Amino acid sequence: MTRKIGIIGTGHVGGAVAEGAIFQGLADDYVLIDSNPEKLDSEVLDLIEAQPNLKHHANIISNDWDALDDADVIISALGNIGLQKNATGGNARFIEAEYNAKQLKSVAAKLKATKFNGVLVVITNPNDVIVTLYQKLTGFPKEKVIGTGTLLDTVRMKNAVGETFDVDPRSVQGYNLGEHGNSQFTAWSTVKILDESIEPVAAEKGIDLNQIANISRDNGYRVLNGKGYTSYAIAASALRLTETILNDSHEELPVSTFREGHEVALSYPAVIGRDGVLGHGHLHLTDEEETKLTGSYDFVTERYHLLLEKIENDEL
């Protein structure tokens, strides 16, 4: 059996995803879609000319929506992150909301017209709202529309904890939950280091966990302000999620999904496999953390309805 990945949008992030997937040999066939044919041709040529130095061969198809019919995973990387540089306070990822929702209308219609029955992985921001809109407009099963969500925020938290406590971040357990945005939070009750709950360890060492939480929330803006966009870390998150799906590995990841009885997608640990979301974990959060999670859900729900109304009224 061959594996096929589709990537919609080959900008900074989509290009990094394509590069990473092809360099790692995640799939055999790739379908790259972009609204700028000249830019796409250049990306494809660059990737083809890299292959003689790689261990893997990749077949690359350009701008053919029908070729997505038998894709295992499609990754939505459309967006315009440059708009976030104009943000002043608030949730900067929502600066992209109307622009991306407008693009999504067309993309969702084209996806709906295909025979695609795989898993849609969404990178596009504001992530949780866009995940929800994709599912609404395509009609794809909820378990097969997944956002990268706070998988990236969790990694940033683990990096900050690892640096503070001088351990490899891969040794840190725990999650950031909620919206992939300002209302996300580190659920410290879930975080362990050296197989101990981090809170008493931090208290003993006089370490302020709030500072670490701020780093995990704000490092994306630090990268954005420095180089004008983010790419590597979010691409790595998307590739990890994609590999989990392709391998049917049943790994538990904090990604943006639809929990039972919830109208919108939000990040919470989910078991991921070839059929998408196979189930959700059950965290024993503190009352304060539950309140934060509810607040994050309410924020995303409100923003989703505002965008959906504009789409339905042809205002975008």
284 classed as catalytic: no
Please tell me what DSSP assigns to residue 169: G
Residue indicated by tokens 């790994």: 251
Three-state DSSP state, 257: strand
CA torsion, ordered 184, 134, 257, 209, to nearest 10 deg: -10
| DSSP labels, 49-117 | HHGGGSS---EEEES-GGGGTT-SEEEE----GGGGGG--SS-GGGGGHHHHHHHHHHHHHHHHTS---
Alpha helix (H) ranges present in 172-258?
Answer: 198-205, 209-227, 232-247
Residue 46, amino acid:
D
Which one from 56, 180, 280, 284 is the annotated catalytic residue?
180
What is the side-by-side order of every strand in the sheet holding 173-177? 173-177, 185-193, 196-197
261: left (phi over 0), alpha (psi -120 to 50) or beta: left
Which amino acids are annotated catalytic? 180
